[in-house]
């Protein structure tokens, strides 16, 4: 069935380091792809999304490109900040009516000053 | 615009007790979701409403969980009786478009349930 696989965490980086969080998916068709972020003590927030192949979603310095050939949607940021410390979830909607989101297990990022 | 509201934020109960959670979605959003997020995992959909009708409740443990969305606005999720494994964060989300069209889901802050 449709699913997403995220790289195992946790990830610890120093401020201004480059970030990559890998996400690969299995799906029938070409669903939209999402990255959600969960800051400590808060609910999930949409970080970015891409609706078709080769689309690049971007927000707050984060980017992810929808790559059909490698079935990937890796999250990247060139220079992380302490305030980026959070848990990041890759997600896709199951096709066929409900469009319910299926989430990866999440990757916890800690950025140290 | 106001976000998705949930209450309470935290709840501690003993096993076999009952508990209810409340959600008020963003105004005008037709679709409402309840997710269960166990520590260290991604959220898992429990039930999805479109207006006041159920679209998907395939992963709702119906022997103990129930949910309703009267009048197509607010929703309540109930657990009766609770088990230890129900300890989790219960997230409510809403989206504007009707089910069948992938759309951004907006999440509330969640209710953290601890069952002792």
The 3-class secondary structure across B18-70, one letter per residue, is: CEEEEEECCCCCCEEEEEEECCCCCCEEEEEEECCEEEECCCCCCCCEEEECH
Q: Which band of pLDDT confidence, cut at 50, 70 and 90, is reported for residue B102?
A: low
- Residue A98: the pLDDT is 57
Closest CB from A43, A46, A106 relative to B109: A43
- 3-class secondary structure, B84: helix
Cross-chain CB nearest to B104 (options A42, A49, A98)? A49
Looking at residue A88, its pLDDT comes to: 97
**At residue B11, does pLDDT exceed 90?**
yes
CA torsion B92→B43→A66→A40, rounded to 10°?
Answer: 80
Q: How far apart are alpha carbons B14 and B22 in whole angstroms?
A: 19
Instruction: Tell me the nearest-neighbour CA distance from B109 into chain A, angstroms.
Output: 4
The pLDDT score that the predictor gives to residue A42 is 83
Chain A within 8 Å of B103 (Cβ-Cβ)? yes
Question: Is B41 in Cβ contact with A100 (below 8 Å)?
Answer: no
Q: Is pLDDT above 60 for B99? A: no
Interior angle at CA A25, CA A97 and CA A89, nearest 5: 85
d(CA A46, CA B81): 33
Taking every pair of Cα atoms in chain B, the longest distance, rounded to a whole number of angstroms, is 40
- Chain A: residues touching B (Cβ < 8 Å): 31-32, 34, 36, 41-46, 49, 51, 89, 91, 93, 97-101, 103-106
Digit-coded pLDDT (tens) for B40-75: 888 999 999 988 899 889 999 999 999 999 888 999
CB contact under 8 A, A103 and B93: no
Helical (H) or strand (E) element with B94: strand B88-95
pLDDT recorded at residue A55: 93
What pLDDT is stored for residue A41 in this prediction?
80
- Residues (pLDDT < 50) of chain A are none
Which residues fall within 8 angstroms of residue B79, CB to CB, at 6 or more apart?
B18, B19, B20, B64, B65, B86, B113
Nearest-CB residue to A98 (from B41, B55, B109)? B55
CB contact under 8 Å between B55 and A44, yes or no, is no
């Amino acid at each position: 069935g449709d699913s997403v696989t995220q790289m195992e965490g946790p990830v610890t980086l120093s401020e201004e380091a480059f970030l990559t969080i890998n996400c690969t998916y299995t799906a029938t068709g070409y669903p939209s792809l999402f990255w959600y972020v969960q800051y400590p003590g808060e609910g999930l927030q949409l970080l970015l999304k891409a609706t078709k192949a080769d689309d690049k979603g971007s927000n707050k310095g984060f980017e992810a490109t929808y790559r059909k050939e490698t079935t990937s949607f890796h999250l990247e940021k060139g220079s992380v900040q302490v305030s980026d410390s959070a848990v990041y979830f890759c997600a896709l909607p199951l096709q066929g009516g409900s469009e319910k989101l299926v989430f990866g297990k999440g990757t916890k990022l800690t950025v140290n000053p | 615009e106001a976000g998705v509201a949930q209450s309470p934020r935290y709840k501690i109960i003993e096993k076999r007790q009952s508990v209810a959670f409340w959600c008020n979605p963003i105004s005008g959003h037709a679709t409402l979701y309840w997710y269960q997020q166990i520590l260290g995992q991604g959220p898992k959909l429990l039930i999805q409403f479109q207006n006041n009708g159920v679209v998907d409740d395939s992963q709702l443990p119906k022997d103990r969980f129930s949910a309703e969305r009267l009048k197509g606005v607010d929703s309540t999720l109930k657990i009766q009786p609770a088990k230890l494994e129900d300890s989790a964060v219960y997230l409510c989300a809403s989206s504007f478009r009707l089910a069948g069209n992938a759309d951004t889901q907006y999440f509330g802050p969640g209710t953290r349930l601890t069952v002792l």
